[in-house]
Structure 1
């Protein structure tokens, strides 16, 4: 049996696995030589954590490593004059080195009307208003009651609550998205929207009579082509239906079921002037109510609403000629096909 030289690899059999005997294989790489080993980043961070228990001043040469620790403990500082935030050291680690490690991270932050003050385009996109001055005009019209509503949200100002509500109405955004944009919870968004819609209704309801323009104003702003063909038109009427969740009450299900939309809806009669301005909005009824029933209970039949000789343009389904006959108001509706495949030439003219 031959004897192996010291430089040869010796094997130690342990069970079924063969392993190198410790110290059997020489190496030119001395991993255990502490004199040439550099401190690892992980060990340096550990040393820094232990050292910060007694002092809050980090070594300047260790700042690149120290930044990793700050990512976990950073605080956000919002700059009102720009759309950015900066990360900085926590107060317990404050030092002169703080200025060396601050950085700017672009973000929109919390949505607010002040943040949109100079961005007229986005404010118009979210609310439909012409700008910040237009928004503040609406807010001031609502009066001081806006600061004393039954539901008060300490996180958002009354102006921001109105801004949130207008975004909900204009963009039909979900509560979860609004909660993310305004940094509040979904239940808060729901309460704000419900409170402000009711508040807007009662405050703006007083202006209902101002929405109905005089005949002279309508003629002044009537489109030229429209004036040539329908010069006496006072209002254009049509009904709109808003889908709703199916009510749990059986009677409410029946009253809100729309045979036209094949779902539960709320129905409202809306009127606009020939140039497109909304001039009339009726009360809201269940989807099963007919257009005629809405008009029968509306203020359109009030004496003095129309002048003799006025005409109402309406959809063919609004059959209310007899209701306005005593006021000498004509209902202008499209001609019915009456079961035929097409209209006669005389009817088209």
Structure 2
């Protein structure tokens, strides 16, 4: 009858066990066991509860390499060390790996007379081996279908959870609603113009912190953020197009509200600095060549259509500021601006706010 025994807690006795077992790279865990076949009969006794136990100072000593007997001495280092031979031997090894606590020499059979010396290898017991593997095919196919279905649901869940540009790329209506660009191609054409400059974008909060805590004259570059730069642009355009609150944006893009605030402050300054240096006025000859038919004749020399507009703002607490921003036309506080439009209605110029 076989029984399995855990390693002793005493460090010295455990070291003796490991020395006798002779397994390189072996680490003792709470689940490591040594079977009773490696102990002498007198070292095992049956307790009053019927449990097979070891004597307090028992050490495993019976192994395959000593033929499970203390009388057989272990071969010396010279006999155990492999040496090269002139003829290549055909070696057949047959073993299983059920018991990880048994160390022995594997039987090696060669087809030549000058076979190399035997090498101590691991041989495990075969009492737990089973020649048959029974598989319930119906259950296996059902579980395979469930796994595939769960995988598809997980992919769909990831797509629906993440709100970004890629989610709306295939829908022209969504692109126009969330960005006010005519199509995804127009948006990507604009992105290709500014993409290279985004690597040098200075976050407003980072810049202010750097100026207040450092005397360096170098501008701090942007640090890695949770959103990709193109998704940050999409968030900013979404904010301008839909007028949603920062709380809504932080839930949509699954980021902190402070991160949304930093994006909404940094991107207007970045785009103003970047695009403000670009000449927006076309040559008069090109304007006339592309002028719509409605402007031919009396208005053929039109270069730009100018108009003024007002945008509502919060009422300041100062009475002096209230008098400066109050609009008798809108009957509330506004900022005034001069805008310029091309012939087909696109805004090409916006002045500073007054």
Name the TM-score class by shorter chain.
0.3 to 0.5
State TM-score, norm by structure 1. 0.48
Structure with the bigger percentage of strand: 1
